[in-house]
Amino acid sequence: MRMSPHFPFVIVAESVTIQGLVQDRPTLCVAILAAASHEDLKLQQILGKLFNEIVLVKMIKGPFATLDMLQGLLVHLAWAHFHQGTMKYTQHLSLAASIISDMRLDRPRVASLWALSRESKHGSGEMTHDEMRALAGTYYLSSSSAVLLQKSHHFRYSPFILECCHSLLSRGTAPSDRHLPYIIYLQKLTEEVDDAVIEATGAMRGSRQDKLPAELHRIRERYTSTKSSLPFPLSESPTILLQLHVLDLLICQPSPDGISYGPNGFQSLQQGADQSRLLDWLSQSMSAAKSLISVILLLPQGDEDTMPNIGWIMLYCAVSLSVRLDLVAAQPENSQTAGHLRRILDMPHTLRQIVLRMESASNSNPGDDESDPYFGLARRARRIEMWYLERCGPVESPEVGSLFGSTETSPSNPFTADIGLTPSSFQDPGLVPSLQVTGESDDTWMTNILADLEVDPGMESLLFTGPFDFLGERQQ
């Protein structure tokens, strides 16, 4: 029950017994047990391998395109970081999408168009509640992964998905069903930001690039309206809370000149950008990045196990982007005006808190089996920390930096606790050391900030960062 609010797309009634689940939905049962066995890593790995064997057998012998298999895949994908090296995230996500297509869950069922018998025509009525939730969950995972990891979209938004969520809302069968329309709508807005940025950056000049600021303004208005009109407290839906922060960060991504900054895109900031616009952009971006990081760092101790895989992807994106933003603010030409922003972000302290949080959550000691997902997350955080500290001296930390050292839980509505970004609140900006990147050409210094030993330097169009091997995307 602790994990269910973080992934409201698969619901198992409290009245269902484990024996009943084994009999009726064995694949889902194994997936749930594997996700919930995080206190016993060996058992979790055994269950994860068993799940993969079930998928393999079902693909060969059938039946494969079933609701049981679809729900099992979704749960397994939701907490995929618990199964490093035992699966392929993208492949399993594609399998889930293929089941949606085979079961015709992605469109209204008109059996007369495809059914070959009277029985199948009468047996293919309205979608069940579980099928509707599974459709929404497959879209959410596919879309989120495509945007955050900058991969191709294989399962795009359609109005039918939102219609299904509104249908669930009207029937009120599960408390979390009222969150689904907002989750899908916010994900739709996230896709729109991604599409607008890709279209604008693909046009060297012309009307499409000029339209980006107006398009982002439109999306920002809808985002703000949705956030302010939620009929429930944000504490009810961890998914929506993360979505709002990610969407805010995405909207801030395009530069003051209306183009998106990938790893190499930040170079243009050093070429005479308007300082006031640059400061506004850095202020918004750094505030959005820190807010997203704080959501996860302020989780109660022990709640790391409930955080789904996509949440850790979001954290990694925010941290990787924050490091880049801090280095931009630390450039000699920017340090005097952006010094107070660096104090608010306080990257050295933030990175240290992330490393300590992941290490405290890990059950592994150095040299132990690296199947513990937090061991891998801590290692990746240390890589970023090491890369950053090699290029930038310590930053004078204000008292606000203690925010990340707090053990208190986040407020019900974190938006009421936004930090004001005013230079007068801090000491002399000149105390922040300037950064001079040496030994690296202008074309490579920001690409190298990906802080990933296996990164492909050619991946220059990413909004955030490079591959995430903790997803299970291990090369065989």
Structure tokens at 117: 């018998």
412 band by pLDDT with thresholds 50, 70 and 90: very low
Report the pLDDT value the prediction gives residue 340, as an integer from 0 to 100: 85
Task: State the residue for tokens 């030994």.
Answer: 439
Q: Is the pLDDT of residue 401 over 80?
A: no
Other Cβ atoms within 10 Å of 221 Cβ, number: 10
Q: What is the pLDDT of residues 46-69, one digit of tens each?
A: 999 999 999 999 999 989 999 999
Residue 261, by phi and psi: left (phi above 0), alpha (psi -120 to 50) or beta? Answer: beta
pLDDT, position 472: 33
DSSP 308-335: -HHHHHHHHHHHHHHHHHHHHHTSHHHH
Dihedral of the alpha carbons of 461, 465, 471, 475, in degrees to the nearest 10: 70
Count the neighbouring beta carbons within 10 Å of the beta carbon of residue 129. Answer: 16
Give me the residue spans of the domains in the chain: 1-86, 255-476
Percentage of the chain modeled with pLDDT above 90: 41
Closest CA to 149 of 456, 371, 385: 456
pTM for the structure as a whole:
0.80
Phi first, then psi, for residue 438 (nearest 5°) are -120, 155
Question: What band does 118 get if pLDDT is binned at 50, 70 and 90?
Answer: low
Candidates 332, 188, 179, 201; CA nearest to 257 is 201
Higher pLDDT, 206 or 422: 206
Amino acid at 178: R
Distance of CA 397 to the CA centre of its chain: 28
Q: 238 or 197, which is more confident? A: 238
- Mean pLDDT over residues 199-225, rounded? 78
Indicate the average pLDDT of the chain.
77
CA distance 78 to 76: 6
Taking residues 309-321, what's their average pLDDT? Answer: 90
> Omega into 366 within 30° of 0, i.e. cis?
no
Question: Which percentage of the chain shows pLDDT scores above 70?
Answer: 71
pLDDT at 265 over 70: no
pLDDT band at 117 (very low <50, low <70, confident <90, very high): low
Nearest-angstrom CA–CA distance, 108 and 125: 10
